[in-house]
Chains A and B, each alone.
Chain A
Amino acid sequence: MAGKFAYFPHTEEDIRTMLQRIGVSSLDELYSDVPSDFIFKGEYDLPDAMSEQEVRAFFEGLAAKTPRKTVFVGAGAYDHYTPAVIPQITSRSEFLTAYTPYQCEISQGTLRYIFEYQSMICKLTGMDVSNASMYDGPSAAAEAVRFCLASTRKKSKVLLSSTLLPNVIRTVQCYAKWAGTVIELIPSKDGQTSLEALQAALADASVGGVIVPGVNRYGIVEDHEGFAEAAHKAGALLVEYCDPSTLAVVKSPAEWGADLAVGDGQPLGIPLCYGGPYVGFMACKSEYMRKLPGRIVGQTTDAQGRRCFVLTLQAREQHIRREKATSNICSNQSLMALWVTVYLSLMGPQGLRQVNDLCYEGSHRLREGLLATGKFEPLFEGKPFIKEFVLKPLCDVKALQQALSDAGFFAALETEEGYVSFCVTEKRTRGEIDALIEVVKGL
């Protein structure tokens, strides 16, 4: 049986010699400490072992049942272009197969790119300190709630804008429910978080934080003038949930006066991959540095005075503080942080700007084209958007979606409000946009 599987190097002879050294007569005897009724004696309900070729064929079969669509939907996952360099770098096995960089002497590669990642997140958001990344945007927002309450005193409630993405609200509510934190939704007005409603909600002295989206669920770039002042006056922190790709052109969280910025790094070149792996980011003002959850990489010197990097400020973390830690998080999405770091290195400020220009051009072309079909009514006229927008359908949404799907498009996502949502990234060509409009015209 042994020696017949590519990942098990043991020969029968190896096993015999090793058992001898241990002083037992069989592999089973190594489990003599396990009560015998717990040893599984049945047959595992699993397929027979496959060869690599058979495995490949199996997944090709599944791929054939997953028709590829031209994606015109966002809602938290954006189909941006991934430069060829990125998968080449991230699949280097020194990065891919490395462990968490606890042994810094042989992990300077990982530690350096995380330091670069933290720097880039700070540059984009305008914040002072970034952690080494988290699971995804929604869970980072949930951690932001905990951060707000840890950074303020005697508070138990956090306000969420109702214009945040639905999956962000859902995740935050799930975490908060069990932590005993009260979450209140702030209503919107004309497609954006209402300042008046926020001010009214802040009258409650138990509010420790406010989370609002930079670009919201309707694709609208929100105006947060007065938000930070209102929050701070009430003793609460302001958290901006942002799409980092848009931060090349839209006002940064720091410019709005936010204390914390969170979001998902997926739009920075990470493939859609049915929702993961992505990467959450979290960056704050320096005064809250010690309340940040997750790993942080810092610069120092080695015994010979050379610049090097280590995991630092670890006294915040679970392996030291156990139940008193700032979070239970014990990892980061390191490889996805590398993905983002390489992306931002390639793009630079001009490239990222150009991505937004192309999105803007395409989304406005699509919106005008769709309105011209007479099948939709405009919503939130005059509100600025970059790549995503919503329309009010005047036609049957299911039929619309089906026709688009038949033509090879994934588009016209129906929202909770009964709107349909579209998203255009720089990957979408004029030809694709015009073809989509033609399908709608033909309905």
Chain B
Amino acid sequence: MKYYDKLIFELSKEGRTGYSLREPQARVCLPEKLARKEAPELPQVSEVDVVRHYTNLSQMNFGVDTGFYPLGSCTMKYNPKINEEIAAMPAFAGVHPLQEDVQGVKEVYEGLDKALAAITGMAHFTFLPCAGAHGELTGLMLMRAYHESRGDHARKKVIVPDSAHGTNPASAAVCGLEVVVVKSKADGLVDVEDLKPLLGDDIAGIMMTNPNTLGLFERDIKEIAKLVHGCGGLLYYDGANMNPLLGVVRPGDMGFDIMHLNLHKTFSTPHGGGGPGSGPVGVCNKLVSLLDSVHTSGFHGNFGVMLRAYTYILMLGKQNLRLAGKLATLNANYIKESLKDAYKLPIASVCKHEFVFDGLIDDGAKEGVQGATTLDVAKRLLDYGFHAPTIYFPMLFHQSLMIEPTETESKETLDGFIEVMHKIAAEAAQDPDILHQAPHNTPIGRPDETLAARQPVLKWEA
């Protein structure tokens, strides 16, 4: 990667054009009071300028096709290329969302609905949500709609574990629910004794991530489901961590009533630098009739993302599905066991798709020398050609370093990562300064984030 410092605006030259349109025979004619006074100050560049500029920008980016992402809670698996070809088929890309005679499109919805239902044990899905957090919100609306439909108007609280993703409480707040936090025990699992006194006829339900954000299977889920259902609440499954259960365990069988999936995580669609994703929400039988009552996006959800996920499922088929989750879990445990001699492992039990280290065992701290932090380790990894893991989450530990490989990474890739992690641990022990100043080999060094927040520059100015 090399540093490239232009913005497209800085390539602009008055009178240059990058478009090719036929000549109009008329001009827009609007009453003066409705017309824009001055043309917007967009760049004036040629097609070549555009292509070179964005190609140069792309070369400052890391992606799954560049290298390995050991990124906890984000499931960065390989994005198959056939997915892209299918999504770009003109027959699909050219369909207007209000067109009705589109049998092929409808069969994609039906087929994907049926497949996801089979994989998760839910009855049916809505595909309107465009991301995981959007799915959470949609799912919580369905939770509330269920209680309202039964004349039960008092359920305005939702229980969220302290280890939950930040989106859980935020989605609850947007949905008009009050968040009640249930604590985790020292072993990282939800404390059932802490849960019991929270339950009552004001509880709409509980949001659970299973395996949780520590990569641990919530083995008391059966009792939790019984308790929450017992008080009249519903169970919501945050599908962010569904990958290790793919082909092994179905949320519906665990007692969950509502769930979302992240098609951009579990079902191989690309993250696109932050989106578009797709967060379909599945429900059990008793909520199916409510699915059409929530309208959280404009048309039918991100159809283009659905096409990719459906392609992936057809490639997997029932045979390969059986191995997907298991190989992801194998990879995670393999890294964990290979690195626990150099990194603190606060919870040693078998993990699922991910696990959390709490910093280095020997961080190189000596009299007057500050030890290497999790941030330092993360930044040093960039020098060695790996993406950093998720850091400082979950907040249960001070130096959280959360690692999730996926089933698409080979033993050789994992061995390479393990070797580098050991090398970094050795560097930290000898000279933590190398880490403090990392990264050294990237297009830019560590940015001044304080400056960015104190004096925000959020757009280009001439």
The answer on a CB contact under 8 Å between B93 and A46 is no
Query: In the complex, A317→B448 CA distance in Å?
Result: 19
Task: Pick the contact of A40: B22, B57, B248, B337 (CB < 8 A).
Answer: B248
The answer on a CB contact under 8 Å between A91 and B84 is yes
Residues of B within 8 A of A303 (CB): 437, 445-448
Query: In the complex, A314→B456 CA distance in Å?
Result: 12
The answer on a CB contact under 8 Å between B321 and A93 is no
Residues of B within 8 A of A289 (CB): 456, 458
CB distance from A72 to the nearest CB of B (A): 9
Query: In the complex, A438→B443 CA distance in Å?
Result: 60
Task: Pick the contact of B299: A97, A167, A327 (CB < 8 A).
Answer: A167
Most chain A CB neighbours (cut-off 10 Å) among B96, B217, B314, B327: B96
CB distance from B59 to the nearest CB of A (A): 7
Most chain B CB neighbours (cut-off 10 Å) among A38, A100, A274, A301: A274
Q: Interface segment, A53-61, A151-159, A183-191, A197-205? A: A53-61
Does A380 sit at the interface, judged by CB under 8 A? no
Query: In the complex, A222→B94 CA distance in Å?
Result: 29
The answer on a CB contact under 8 Å between B460 and A112 is no
The answer on a CB contact under 8 Å between B442 and A106 is yes
Contact flags B435-454 to A (C-beta < 8 A → 1, else 0): 00101001111111101110
Given the known interface contacts A255-B36, A308-B444, A361-B26, the answer about A8 and B323 at a Cβ–Cβ threshold of 8 Å is yes
Residues of B within 8 A of A296 (CB): 456, 458
Residues of B within 8 A of A229 (CB): none
Contacts between the two chains (Cβ within 8 Å), count: 673
Given the known interface contacts A40-B250, A44-B119, A349-B40, the answer about A22 and B334 at a Cβ–Cβ threshold of 8 Å is yes
CB distance from A215 to the nearest CB of B (A): 10
In chain A, what residue has the closest Cβ to B249? Answer: A38
Counting chain B residues whose Cβ lies within 8 A of the other chain, the interface size class is 35 or more
Contact flags B247-280 to A (C-beta < 8 A → 1, else 0): 1111001100000000000001011111111000
Given the known interface contacts A83-B20, A118-B458, A180-B176, the answer about A52 and B315 at a Cβ–Cβ threshold of 8 Å is yes
Does B333 sit at the interface, judged by CB under 8 A? yes
CB distance from B169 to the nearest CB of A (A): 4
The answer on a CB contact under 8 Å between B55 and A27 is no
In chain B, what residue has the closest Cβ to A244? Answer: B40
The answer on a CB contact under 8 Å between B47 and A346 is yes
Q: Interface segment, B131-139, B192-200, B229-237? A: B131-139
Query: In the complex, A196→B35 CA distance in Å?
Result: 23
Contact flags A215-251 to B (C-beta < 8 A → 1, else 0): 0000001010100000000000000000000011111
The answer on a CB contact under 8 Å between B9 and A116 is yes
Q: Report B15-46 residues with CB < 8 Å from chain A CB.
A: 16-22, 24-31, 33-37, 39-45
Task: Pick the contact of B40: A96, A135, A248, A306 (CB < 8 A).
Answer: A248
Does A391 sit at the interface, judged by CB under 8 A? no
Residues of B within 8 A of A277 (CB): 130, 275-276, 302-305
The answer on a CB contact under 8 Å between A116 and B7 is yes
The answer on a CB contact under 8 Å between A250 and B298 is no
Q: Report A83-134 residues with CB < 8 Å from chain B CB.
A: 83, 85, 87-89, 91-101, 103-110, 112-116, 118-120, 122-124, 128-130, 132-133
Residues of B within 8 A of A299 (CB): 452, 457-458
Given the known interface contacts A101-B273, A298-B457, A300-B452, the answer about A276 and B222 at a Cβ–Cβ threshold of 8 Å is no
Does A417 sit at the interface, judged by CB under 8 A? no
Residues of A within 8 A of B294 (CB): 174
In chain B, what residue has the closest Cβ to A327? Answer: B174
Task: Pick the contact of A103: B140, B333, B387 (CB < 8 A).
Answer: B387
CB distance from B249 to the nearest CB of A (A): 5
Query: In the complex, A115→B60 CA distance in Å?
Result: 15
Query: In the complex, A246→B247 CA distance in Å?
Result: 48
The answer on a CB contact under 8 Å between B101 and A300 is no
Query: In the complex, A8→B87 CA distance in Å?
Result: 23
Query: In the complex, A56→B132 CA distance in Å?
Result: 28
The answer on a CB contact under 8 Å between A251 and B104 is no
CB distance from A57 to the nearest CB of B (A): 11
18 contacts between A and B (CB under 8 A): A27-B329, A33-B216, A33-B219, A40-B247, A55-B82, A77-B299, A138-B298, A174-B294, A174-B295, A249-B35, A276-B276, A276-B301, A277-B304, A289-B456, A318-B166, A346-B47, A384-B31, A410-B96
List the 8 closest pairs (A to B, CB-CB), nearest first.
A275-B299, A49-B317, A335-B272, A275-B97, A63-B91, A109-B61, A277-B276, A62-B104
Taking A63-B89, A139-B297, A325-B170 as known contacts, 19 extra A-B pairs with beta carbons closer than 8 A to each other, sorted by chain A number, are: A33-B216, A46-B118, A46-B321, A49-B314, A112-B60, A116-B7, A118-B459, A167-B298, A178-B140, A221-B34, A251-B34, A251-B36, A299-B458, A306-B3, A312-B456, A335-B272, A345-B43, A348-B17, A354-B21
